[in-house]
Structure 1
């Protein structure tokens, strides 16, 4: 029998492919979570709560950890997308989940367009409504052009690195009270459930919960044999998101602690931009505007495309062409809603995070049901009891936080 002339070539190739898929999934999750909503929510709550917001960040990271570990692992083990898994476990629940995720994705996209408007306002002084409209058209053009899309992907990586460097610089220059922040991370003076619900929703709510897991599924990284890699990928994504949120919090905290008051509710309010301008001057403001706009543009495309991936639960034979057209329509509808609202863009970005935080418990409840009662869907795999216990506690906590937060979250629409 002839031997393979290059023994081990296929395993190495698969390992490289798996690493590439994991990096892509981590990047997708992190960039989805570190969008205009993430930036504006952090600046808004740091401005209003000061160092006490540090506890909210810690709580959000811990909740993110439990949610993503469970979702990524169960999607990998069952080899099913979230709505398909939900229907298999509880008939009809997948359709309900899809409706809520698509609706949540629509609100996310309205906020993303608002964020793009804020970005162009900081970059060029353009009116936020005109900036949002122009950005939505640019997003449609990028999505419709594969060549432009590939170029933007590379540009966004560069902008992401610029954002990290600029945020770290501002955190250093603004000289935040680090000791007080560390104390209140574990011993807060006050706890605000609406704040935690909002930043959890902005980081891991709605479609973001499933974006990375579905990406791995599409790339063939699934099954028990890949469980360790999937778990490490989820942890890496959470770590990147958590670190960025804390550094951004310190950057804004330094500005706020110096006595600067940030506008968080006016029609042209852009609290994060104000903080960056104060710490890094006019150049810092313009660079921040470019980064915010870039993050918003990719979030507009990503939220629309990922949200519409859930429509396959209603009809299996949805072609790529139909989904692509639907993505364009989704962006247009998001723009129309944004233009019709009188809510300040910054307040809108906070609201959409909160709304998706209210949606989060529904999907998590279904996944916990699968973990406790449907080992058959996971090929008989004995799911770790400690993860199920943590997941169930987190699920109950998110329901409670949602109940306590409904009023304050919807109040942002009146700003």
Structure 2
């Protein structure tokens, strides 16, 4: 049942040099991190910090802990089976791979509509462009990257550079806004309010839907697979989780400083852009430009990540897709996302919050299949003895995400009709 992946960037699973493997791991870390810290997460953080204040820190902690369990399981199983997530699902429980692929592709499409909208909001703040025009420019740039003859290299470089820029600029704004760090730390563990819809949405925006599989599929395409690479893959997963965890918390602190100062932030208006308001309140016009740069970088990397990962699931329906065919399919995916972005009237910020919730509802389905594969299908991993502690954590996380989804489905879909 084992399927070997063809590495589009020329990597093979055997005989990989240390430099090539290191490059593959860095690319996977940043693809996961930038997918997890996209415009959806930034907008969700601003929206929920405005509503919950320091208590939102608990949702950040929950998202990091769930991220830890999900990514360690997904990356490990993909690495050992040398198969894409949908193929693993079909091998473990026949037919479920097609269901998972459809859910991820549909969820990725919705997410990409929001990501393109994020690109429009970013360029609006940075350059004053109309959001529809800015979103179109962002989508066309992403299309140009995938049409490049060296698309794989271009993807990795854009994501790493943009990711580093996001981290540096956000740390600066967090320092300027002077948040109540003590209260935030206290409520990280003992929150005054626990809102399951908020936690489900933020988890979905950081590790739900396509994001769950982005780094793992990048490793697969780079050929960083097999038991010989497992140690390095685990370290990369932990590094990626650490990077995203720190970035999430720093972003939360940057916005909390503004909220705690008493500045009113609009999170429901038709033209609401709560994160932009927070950055501008913290650092004036410079803050607005910084926000634009961060938001646009988050958007363009997420457009790339969502399209790349969503299309990687198409191969379950067409096994013999070449690298070029996948790139063309990715271009079509982005173009379709752009079309819907242009015609949809839902405010971009509201859409970004909704798609996080939608992907949070998708998360437990795929995770359940993977935990079953780890528990009962060691044959798919060459007889590898899966760590019992990781499976137990995975099972508990599955139960938690199913429960949160049940409690949250109504409020999440209500976001589409909220004023």
1:390 is aligned, of 390, 393, 403, to 393
1:212 positional shift: 1.0
SS of corresponding position for 1:189: coil
- Check whether the contact 1:372–1:388 (CA below 8 A) recurs between aligned residues: yes
1:196 aligns with 2:166: no
1:359 paired residue among 362, 371, 386? 362
With 398-407 and 218-227 compared, the bigger mean Cα shift is at 218-227
List aligned pairs for 1:166-185, cutoff 5 A: 166-185=169-188
Pairwise mapping of residues 195-214 of structure 1 onto structure 2 (< 5 A)? 195-214=198-217
Whole-Å separation in 1 of the counterparts to 2:94 and 2:136: 40
In the TM superposition, residue 322 of structure 1 has moved relative to its aligned partner by 2.8
CA distance in 2, matches of 1:326, 1:152: 16
- For 1:163 and 1:309, locate their aligned partners in 2 and report how far apart those are by CA, in whole Å: 26
Conservation of the 8 A alpha-carbon contact between 2:30 and 2:163:
no
Alignment-derived partner of residue 405 in structure 1: 408
- Equivalent residue, structure 1, for 2:313: 310
Other structure's SS at 1:413 match: coil
State the TM-score, normalized to the length of structure 1. Answer: 0.93
Classify the secondary structure of the residue corresponding to 2:269.
coil
Judged with a 3 Å threshold, the aligned counterparts in structure 2 of structure 1 residues 152 and 273 are, in CA distance, closer, same or farther, namely farther
Deviations 1:87-134, CA, capped at 9 Å, x for gaps: 111111111111111111101101101101111111122222232233
Rounded Cα–Cα distance in structure 1 between residues aligned with 2:53 and 2:407: 21
Note the 1:260-271 alignment, pairs <5 A. Answer: 260-271=263-274
Moved more, 13-22 or 186-195: 13-22
- State the secondary structure of the residue aligned to 2:416: helix
Q: Is the 8 A contact 2:214 2:305 kept in 1?
A: no
Decide whether aligned partners of structure 1 residues 230 and 155 sit closer, same or farther in structure 2, where only a CA change above 3 A counts: closer
Give the direction of change, closer, same or farther, for the CA distance of 1:152–1:358 in structure 2 (3 Å limit): closer
Q: 356-365 or 120-129: which moved more? A: 120-129
How many aligned positions are there? 405
Aligned to 1:7: none
Give the superposition deviation at 1:47: 0.9
The equivalent residue for 2:256 is 253
| 2:100 matches 1:94 | no
Q: Offset at 1:153?
A: 5.4
Cα–Cα, structure 1 residues 379 and 23, in superposed 2: closer, same or farther, change >3 Å? same
Gaps of 5+ in 1: 1-10
- Residue 77 of structure 1 contacts residue 224 of structure 1 at CA under 8 Å; is this kept in 2? yes
Deviations 1:14-35 (A, max 9, x none): 3332222211111111111111
TM-score (norm 2): 0.92
Aligned mate of 1:283, from 260, 281, 286: 286
CA contact (8 A) 1:176 1:257 kept: yes
- The match for 1:241 among 213, 219, 244 is 244
Structure 1 CA distance, aligned partners of 2:114 and 2:185? Answer: 31
Aligned equivalents of 2:184 and 2:163: distance in 1? Answer: 25
Structure 1 vs Structure 2 CA RMSD: 1.9
Structure 1 residue 244 displacement after superposition? 0.3
Q: Distance in 2 between matches of 1:373 and 1:148?
A: 38
The answer to whether structure 1 residue 221 and structure 2 residue 258 are counterparts is no
> What SS is found at the alignment partner of 1:376?
helix
Work out the CA distance in 2 between the residues paired with 1:114 and 1:374. 41
Q: Distance in 2 between matches of 1:387 and 1:151?
A: 35
Distance 1:364 1:159, change over 3 A: closer
Asked if the contact 1:368–1:391 (Cα under 8 Å) also holds between the matched residues in 2, the reply is: yes
1:136 to 1:12, Cα distance in 2 relative to 1, 3 A: closer
Of residues 182-191 and 168-177 in structure 1, the stretch that sits farther from structure 2 once superposed is 168-177
How far has the Cα of 1:12 moved from its partner?
10
**Aligned mates of 1:151, 1:233 — CA distance in 2:** 21
Residue 222 and residue 113 in structure 1: after superposition, are their counterparts in 2 closer, same or farther (change >3 A)?
Answer: same
Q: Which residue of 1 aligns with 2:6?
A: none
Q: Does 1:374 align with 2:377?
A: yes
Aligned to 1:14: 17
Tell me, yes or no, if structure 1 residue 32 matches structure 2 residue 39.
no
Correspondence 1:110 to 2:82? no
Whole-Å Cα distance in 1 between the matches of residues 122 and 380 of structure 2?
45
User: How far apart, CA to CA, are the structure 2 residues paired with 1:326 and 1:160?
Assistant: 25
Q: Aligned partners of 1:292, 1:204: CA distance in 2, in Å?
A: 19
Give the superposition deviation at 1:148. 8.7
